[in-house]
A and B are shown apart, each in its own frame.
Chain A
């Protein structure tokens, strides 16, 4: 009678080789952010546009043709924002530096008033050491950001050439890459690995698509609201709110601060400020009450604590990009952990 036994030595060797290859790939990506960040971005955009390929194929266009159509559409629709939005945003950012002293002056004045008031009422002198330190830090960081804009634009230029290349080859050869990895997968974990990676990819795709839609809704709401209120830098504040919205919990608050500070300094505590606050509250209420439950929460079911911890760890690892990718990454880890748990505790 045949005995059930794993061909241990060879299989174990294959397993070790496979896992170490995967680990090396991850370590390599983590160690080279200049390559891995555009790679990740390219992959994210690929996941957003990929569902269009089978749809076109169903219409009778062959695979290469539909890839070219999707790719050309992507290039076409991303050139317009680049040509139109980037100069506007750059001009707005450059204008911001003229408004920064104004905001600073306003904050200092308010602080001085508060100090005098406190001294008169309680005869207690508030030290201004920390205040000026904080102000100094803010001034330095914002100047730093402004001075770094050319550098960011330079890397953006690098990305403009690199990312479309990645997307194109992912569309064209993505299947071959997948096949290559699957060929390397040892028999003993093949079914599980294939199914898990497929599930994870699907989850990631859904999550990114949901987040993309959510951020667009928030960004458009805030930009159009600010335009109606006739607040300056409407496009810039809308863009900031959209991008920071991707970060859970803290994102909407971070996105709110620049707009709040600016309108406080520019228009003072009045109806405009109230309207701006209302606008941000309403936009986030729409997001939290309608968009999030419908789109995002179904995709990832992580404990809020897990979300916060992974965002903090992500920000430490890769900065802004880390904060954005931390949630799908945590979801992947959870998927793997669940599988390992089942494996250990079922028997």
Chain B
């Protein structure tokens, strides 16, 4: 019988458990498991699961992972602020991040307020425009919720990637263009819808007058 089963049996029989579990023994067997890798190995594995990076080969993901910066944020810590100059693209490795838009142009009646737009979760990404624009001003703020881990890629990294691994850089830029194109597409749809709504609203107004 395994140690685990033995303990389970003891629990079922409502026997008294040993005061101190053999943690060191458990840890030894756990760590000697060849399938458990180090954390750095799991970043390429994490990247594999992201849709927009599907055109990368395993080796390319491994190289890309070397250029990413793992940053840890405390609960409520600001990742970046709206209106700040941005140079980084982030992937959510762990935890949640809130995207918040602040209404800074507050008049006397309407005070500056912040509006929660959406919550991003694991393997979501944000800030991709910062890599593409010459001078990129953040459109919204990002705040860590309950603490999160991010993988950041910054302009200097992209430059270095272009110099050292042009193929990977091209694939990465392709992925980022894909993200931007998708966002642009949905944005165009939204604008069309709003325009249609606006025109029908104006017609209604004219009719009622």
Tell me, rounded to whole Å, the shortest Cβ–Cβ distance linking B172 to chain A: 17
Q: Which of B69, B76, B102, B156 contacts A195 (CB 8 A)?
A: B156
CA A195 – CA B114 in complex, angstroms? 28
**Distance A192 CA – B75 CA, assembled complex (angstroms):** 22
Q: Quick check: B71 and A190 within 8 Å, CB to CB?
A: yes
- Whether A270 sits at the interface, judged by CB under 8 Å, is no
A57 and B164 contact, Cβ closer than 8 Å, known pairs A4-B78, A7-B77: yes
Q: At the interface, yes or no: A121 with Cβ under 8 Å from chain B?
A: no
Nearest 3 A-B pairs (CB), nearest first?
A: A198-B156, A7-B74, A54-B163
Q: Does A269 touch B at the CB level, under 8 Å?
A: no
Asked if A6 is at the interface (CB within 8 A of a chain B CB), the reply is yes
For the side of the interface on B, what is the size category?
Answer: 20 to 34
Judged by a CB distance under 8 angstroms, whether B116 is at the interface is yes
Q: How far is the CB of A94 from chain B (nearest CB, A)?
A: 47
From 198 to 243 in chain A, residues with beta carbon under 8 angstroms from any chain B beta carbon are 198
What is the CB-to-nearest-CB distance from B93 to chain A, in angstroms, rounded to a whole number?
14
* Candidates A1, A6, A54, A58; contact of B77 at CB < 8 Å: A6
How many Å lie between the Cα of A10 and that of B79 in the bound state? 15
User: Which residue of chain A is the closest to B130 with respect to CB atoms?
Assistant: A191
Convert B156-179 into 0s and 1s, putting 1 for each residue whose CB lies closer than 8 angstroms to a CB of A. Answer: 100100011010000000000000
On whether the beta carbons of A195 and B87 are closer than 8 Å, the reply is yes
B64-91 CB contacts (< 8 Å) to partner A: 69, 71, 73-81, 85-88
- Residues A6 and B78 in contact in the complex (CB < 8 Å), given A54-B163, A187-B73: yes
- Is the CB of B53 closer than 8 A to any CB of chain A? no
Give chain B residues whose Cβ lies under 8 Å from the Cβ of A2. Answer: 76, 98, 100, 116, 143, 145
**Chain B stretch 124-162: residues in CB contact (< 8 A) with chain A:** 141, 143, 145, 152, 154-156, 159
A144 interface residue (CB < 8 Å to B):
no
Could you say which residues of chain A place their CB within 8 Å of the CB of B143?
Answer: 2, 4
Which A residues are CB-close (under 8 A) to B73? Answer: 187
A1–B119 Cα distance when bound, in Å, is: 11
A5 within 8 A of B: yes
| Contact (Cβ within 8 A) A191 B80 | yes
In the assembled complex, how far is the CB of residue A282 from the closest CB belonging to chain B, in whole angstroms?
38
Taking the closest CB of chain A, its distance from the CB of B105, in whole angstroms, is 14
Quick check: is A194 within 8 A (CB to CB) of the other chain? yes
Does A182 have its Cβ within 8 Å of any Cβ on chain B?
yes
Q: List 18 A-B contacts (CB under 8 A).
A: A2-B76, A2-B116, A2-B145, A3-B76, A4-B81, A4-B143, A7-B75, A11-B74, A11-B77, A187-B71, A187-B73, A187-B79, A191-B80, A191-B88, A192-B85, A195-B87, A195-B154, A198-B155
Among B74, B78, B87, B102, contact of A194 (Cβ-Cβ < 8 Å): B87
Q: Chain A residues near B71 (CB, 8 Å)?
A: 187, 190
A187 and B163 CA atoms in complex are apart in Å by 27
- Residue numbers in A under 8 Å from B100 (CB-CB): 2, 4
Taking A11-B77, A182-B69 as known contacts, 9 extra A-B pairs with beta carbons closer than 8 A to each other, sorted by chain A number, are A2-B76, A2-B116, A2-B143, A4-B141, A187-B79, A190-B71, A192-B85, A194-B154, A195-B87
**Which residues from B are CB-within-8-Å of A78?**
none
The answer to whether A191 touches B86, judged by C-beta atoms less than 8 angstroms apart, is: yes
The CA-CA distance from A16 to B85 in the complex, in Å, is 23
Complex CA–CA separation, A5 to B141 (angstroms) = 11
CB interface residues, A 57-88, toward B, < 8 Å: 57-58
Complex CA distance for A54 and B76, rounded to whole angstroms: 40
Report A-chain residues with C-beta under 8 Å of the C-beta of B102.
4
* Residues of the A chain whose Cβ atoms lie less than 8 Å from the Cβ of B159: 198
Q: Name the residue of chain A whose CB is nearest to the CB of B166.
A: A58
